[in-house]
């Protein structure tokens, strides 16, 4: 039974290490990246639009396979991009000669985020590095100040896009498609893609008005390899125990009953320690281990 447990431990630890290796961090080139924000006010009897633009800063993480050219697949797993302009300003004269009123908006701290788990599947690259990653669900963030006088209604105030109570699920941004290209500048990958994100908003503050937000633009980012997770090796000691070994460093060793590590147990390590001996137990028929940097 202990031999079977020895083999089981070896498979679980080795598989965990292989599944989590090799992401790249891409940093936006502010001079080449931008967001064009277009907001349309639809009164039913009239529509008016205004727009503003901003340069972009931020980062995203992508997994390349293999992680050197020629790359076969790419998977953008997360991203966080922010406006470099302190405020985006929009103004409207509604209807002919402003017959139906007017409105002013300003948005500060505009950001577009793609959280892990909200991205699409990995995409294949063609010979020129072009790819399409579909079904990416973005999150728009920002603080909107408004002054609206339309259809006999006057309102002033602020709307926080990060407040889920103000934007229920049926008013979240629609999933969008990333159409991009991965090229190489020497040994550094360069990622470029265009995007178009739409979100429709109806709130009590703008009674009778539907707000359509369109954020489109281009992102150009240069990549650097993120340090992979430390390799955790395992081998039997010959006396019904197992040895976990790794290259010495500032690590935390954790054990858990499930591969999700929802309730990890931290195993104390001494400075410079590079191995740990464990004895399989019937109390833990399945045991998972991982190393994390401090």
Mean pLDDT of 101-116: 91
Find the angle CA(161)-CA(167)-CA(173) to the nearest 5 degrees: 80
Cα separation, 165 vs 259, in Å, equals 34
Burial class (CB in 10 A: 0-12, 13-18, 19+), 284: middle
Q: Is the pTM of this model over 0.85?
A: no
Q: Which helix (H) or strand (E) holds 14?
A: helix 2-19
Clarify whether residues 211 and 247 are in a common domain. Answer: no
Clarify whether residues 203 and 242 are in a common domain. Answer: no
Q: Which residue has the higher pLDDT, 135 or 162?
A: 135
Least confident of 12-21, 87-96, 164-173: 12-21
Clarify whether residues 178 and 274 are in a common domain. Answer: no
Helix-then-strand count for the chain, H and E: 1, 19
**Quick one: DSSP state of residue 98?**
G
Clarify whether residues 130 and 199 are in a common domain. Answer: yes
What's the token pair of residue 64? 């390349």
Clarify whether residues 102 and 234 are in a common domain. Answer: no
Clarify whether residues 192 and 144 are in a common domain. Answer: yes
Clarify whether residues 104 and 170 are in a common domain. Answer: yes
Nearest Cα neighbor of 227 from 11, 24, 18 is 24
Can you give the C-alpha Rg of the chain in angstroms? Answer: 26
Range of the domain at 39: 22-225
Cα separation, 247 vs 266, in Å, equals 18
Clarify whether residues 158 and 285 are in a common domain. Answer: no
Greatest extent of the chain over all pairs of C-alpha atoms, in Å: 89
pLDDT at 57: 94
What's the token pair of residue 123? 């995409």
3-state DSSP call for residue 220?
strand
Average pLDDT of every residue of the chain: 83
Q: Which residue, 177, 196, 225, sits at the end of a domain?
A: 225
3-state DSSP call for residue 96?
helix
Clarify whether residues 26 and 97 are in a common domain. Answer: yes
Clarify whether residues 82 and 103 are in a common domain. Answer: yes
pLDDT band with cut points at 50, 70 and 90 for residue 17: very low
Question: Cis omega (within 30 of 0) on the bond before 66?
Answer: yes
The total number of structural domains in the chain stands at 2
3-state DSSP call for residue 172?
coil
Q: Which residue, 195, 225, 255, sits at the end of a domain?
A: 225
Cα separation, 227 vs 293, in Å, equals 10
pLDDT tens, residue by residue, 26-82:
999 999 999 999 999 998 888 899 999 999 999 999 999 888 889 999 999 999 999
Clarify whether residues 114 and 45 are in a common domain. Answer: yes
For residues 284 and 10, the answer to whether their CB atoms sit within 8 Å is no
CATH number at residue 238: 2.60.40
Q: Which residue, 205, 225, 245, sits at the end of a domain?
A: 225
Clarify whether residues 72 and 186 are in a common domain. Answer: yes
> Which stretches of 226-281 are assigned E, i.e. beta strand?
233-236, 242-245, 251-256, 265-267, 275-278
């Amino acid at each position: 039974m202990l031999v079977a447990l020895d083999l089981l431990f070896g498979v679980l630890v080795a598989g965990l290490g292989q599944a989590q290796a090799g992401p790249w961090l891409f940093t936006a080139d502010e001079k080449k990246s931008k967001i064009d924000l277009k907001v349309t006010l639809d009164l039913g009897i009239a529509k008016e639009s205004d727009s503003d633009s901003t340069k972009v800063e931020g980062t995203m993480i992508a997994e390349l396979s293999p992680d050197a050219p020629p790359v076969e697949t790419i998977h953008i797993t997360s991203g966080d991009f922010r406006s470099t302009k302190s405020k985006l300003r929009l103004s409207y004269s509604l209807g002919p000669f402003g017959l139906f009123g007017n409105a002013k908006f300003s948005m500060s701290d505009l950001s577009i985020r793609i959280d892990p788990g909200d991205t699409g599947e990995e995409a294949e690259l063609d010979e020129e590095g072009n790819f399409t990653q579909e079904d990416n669900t973005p999150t728009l963030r920002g603080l909107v100040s408004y002054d609206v006088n339309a259809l006999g209604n006057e309102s002033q105030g602020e709307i926080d896009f990060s407040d889920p109570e103000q934007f229920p699920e049926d008013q979240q941004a629609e999933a969008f498609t990333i159409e991009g290209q991965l090229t190489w500048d020497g040994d550094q990958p360069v990622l470029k893609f265009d995007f178009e994100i739409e979100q429709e908003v109806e709130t009590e503050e703008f009674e009778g008005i539907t707000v359509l937000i369109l954020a489109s633009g281009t992102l150009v980012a240069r990549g650097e390899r993120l340090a992979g997770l430390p390799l955790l090796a395992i081998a039997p000691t010959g006396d019904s125990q197992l040895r976990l070994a790794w290259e010495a460093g500032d690590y935390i060793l954790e054990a858990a009953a499930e591969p999700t590590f929802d309730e990890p147990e931290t195993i104390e390590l001494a400075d410079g320690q590079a191995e740990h001996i464990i004895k399989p137990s019937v109390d833990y028929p399945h045991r998972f281990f991982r190393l994390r940097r401090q």
